[in-house]
Amino acid sequence: MDVHWLTVTTDAPVLRASDADRDRVAAVLSEALATGRLTSVEHADRLDAAYTAKTVGELVPLTQDLPHVTSSHVPSVVERQTIDSKFSKVIRKGRWVASRHTRLSATFGALIVDLSDAVLPGREITLEADARFSKMIVRVPDNARVIDEGASMFGKRNVSGGSEDDGPLIRIVGRSMFSKVIVSRGVSDWNLR
């Protein structure tokens, strides 16, 4: 299957777009950004248009000027994954495919996860942040909205709710004990560089 599955026939433009349709277009746009075919501004504009599209006809122009890419070149959606740190420091950054539900686990260690360049699989992802005697730092995209539904015992959670933009929703759940969980935007307030 290729990404130009949006073949416009007489009836296709008025068909309602599904979340899966929007996610496929978002993956193609992310690939175009990563290969330099789109600027970050163009990517953001098209991504916003993709996630607000109501019909297939609105999705077609968003990838029409991009090269024919087969689905094997588009990052596949990962439903669940675990990033684990035990007695060590683990850093996940750069371009990687995030999952809809990611379990972050740190025990007597440090875990740093940077979502700013990650390919997000949809409009909402859940991070299950479980920390024991550890430090966990999550960097989110500037336009992300963050909801913290986690709990802390003898620790600290510092999560900024974030943006008014129509960016992805990142839901933080989980528990921390004797640990620090920080969710931030930008590089200035932590040492990811």
Could you give the 3-state DSSP secondary structure of residue 145?
Answer: strand
Considering the domain architecture, whether residues 93 and 112 belong to the same structural domain is answered as yes
Q: How far is CA 19 from CA 35, 51, 56, 134, 171, in A?
A: 24, 8, 11, 36, 18
CA–CA distance, 144 with 140 (Å, rounded to integer): 6
pLDDT on residue 4: 46
Residue 1 has pLDDT above 50, yes or no: no
**Portion of the chain with pLDDT greater than 90, in percent:** 34
Q: Are residues 65 and 89 in the same domain?
A: no
Task: Average the pLDDT over each of 42-46, 89-93, 144-148, 173-177 and give the range with the smallest value.
Answer: 42-46
- Structural domain boundaries, residue 65: 3-73
Domain final residue pick, 30, 49, 73: 73
Among 46, 73, 100, the domain-final residue is 73
Are 68 and 137 within one domain? no
Question: What is the reported pLDDT for 42?
Answer: 86
Is residue 70 over pLDDT 60?
A: no
Note whether residue 68 is domain-resident.
yes
Residues 55 and 147 in one domain: no
Does the residue 85 lie in any domain?
yes
Kindly state whether residues 46 and 104 are assigned to the same domain: no
- Total structural domains in the chain? 2
Q: Are residues 59 and 91 in the same domain?
A: no
Buried (b) or exposed (e) across 159-181, using 16+ Cβ within 10 A? beebbeeebbebbbbbbbeebbb
Residue 188 reports pLDDT greater than 70: no
Residue 189 in any domain: the answer is no
Domain identity same for 24 and 117: no
In a domain, residue 139? The reply is yes
Q: What is the pLDDT of residues 116-156, one digit of tens each?
A: 888 787 788 999 999 999 999 999 988 888 999 999 999 99
pTM of the model: 0.63
